[in-house]
Amino acid sequence: MKIKEIQAKSIITKSNLPASDFVINPYTGCSHACIYCYARFMMRFTGHDEEWGEFVDVKINAPELIPKLGDKYKSKSITIGSVTDPYQKCEEEYKITRNILEKLSLFDSSFDIITKSDLVARDIDLLKKFRDLTVAFSIGQADDRIRERLEPGAPSIENRIKVLKILYDNNIRTAVFISPIFPMLSDWKKIIELTKQYADEYWFENLNIYPSVRENIYKFLKNNYPELIDKYREIYKDEKIYWDGVENEIKDFCKKGQVNYKIYFHHKDIKKK
């Protein structure tokens, strides 16, 4: 893992995510090395020739770039960790996310932190100071053997659920971000069953097979589930039909089970409220 300290020019940037106004990414690169990660496009801006998952640039000055007054961000939504995990391994040493949060806790904004890491539990003292904050744990698989192949550098599902419970018990609002849903592999009902006592809401996102991850996904299928290759090809010929079906199933299931949910399928069609 190549770790490099860099000076960032800015740290709170405009978002093109459907559900947030601004994003903060304390690092560039991510040691979780998920094979489906669309954030690979960040490679273009870094000059790295390592593989995605083998380098992390630490934005060493990021906390200093957070303004003292958050007037510009009043009532706005800010997502922390859209193209990196703010609690990946090197955060243990660098504490960039922690130092950023110390400043943000004074803002009158709405925050989401997206992570796969149990390290977030270290900052419970700080998280409790926020007026409006949700910690969203990404859990895309119920079976840790599948997770290990898809997210080789990330903590186990068991660890994530343990910390989800700790946060919930500390009155921090929690979400389980069921993402990405792999057709025929992501048992999202089971994920809900495993976490429902500790999750305030669920977010759902489909697997997008961008050109930059296509080879990885099909290699993963070939090595582990060759019988699914033709089925994936069929689905992704006109994926809208498939995902509309999954969306309806999720809606029915959540309504019956009184589960709070948000669906982030078909990104381009989601309008900001």
Q: Least distance from C-beta 85 to ligand SF4, angstroms?
A: 4
Beta pairing partners, 12 = 24
- Rule CB under 6 A: say whether 104 interacts with ligand SF4: no
* Sole residue written with tokens 């296509």: 214
Residue number with CB closer to ligand SF4 (37 or 119): 37
State how far the Cα of 273 lies from the Cα of 260, in Å rounded to an integer.
18
Q: Which of 12, 73, 85, 142 binds ligand SF4 (CB under 6 A)?
A: 85
Q: How many CB atoms are closer than 10 A to CB 98? A: 18
Q: Does 84 bind ligand SF4 (CB under 6 A)?
A: yes
Q: Which one, of 187, 203, 197, 179, lies nearest residue 260 by Cα?
A: 203
Q: Which stretch binds ligand SF4 (CB under 6 A): 78-86, 165-173, 230-238, 239-247?
A: 78-86
Q: Which is it for strands 22-24 and 77-80: parallel, antiparallel or unpaired?
A: parallel
116 binds ligand SF4 (CB under 6 A): yes
Nearest distance, CB of residue 233 and ligand SF4, angstroms:
23
CA gap 124, 119 in Å, rounded:
10
Residue 203 CA, distance from chain mean position: 10
Q: Least Å distance between CB 241 and ligand SF4?
A: 26
Smallest separation, CB 6 to ligand SF4 (Å): 17
How distant, in Å, are the alpha carbons of 96, 139, 142, 224 from that of 187?
Answer: 34, 10, 6, 17
CB of 40 to ligand SF4, least distance (A): 8
Residue ranges of alpha helices (H) inside 91-156 are 91-94, 96-104, 124-127, 144-150
Amino acid at 145: R
Strand-pair partners of 133: 111
- How many chain residues bind ligand SF4 (CB under 6 A)? 11
Preceding peptide of 180 cis, ω within 30°: yes
8 Å CB contact between 190 and 217: no
19-48 positions binding ligand SF4, by CB under 6 A: 30, 32-34, 37, 39
Distance, C-alpha 36 to centroid of its chain: 12
By CB under 6 A, tell whether 141 contacts ligand SF4: no
Q: Does 112 bind ligand SF4 (CB under 6 A)?
A: no
Least distance from ligand SF4 to the Cβ atom of residue 32, Å: 4
Q: Which is nearer to ligand SF4, 4 or 240 (CB)?
A: 4
Binding site for ligand SF4 (CB under 6 A): 30, 32-34, 37, 39, 83-85, 116, 151
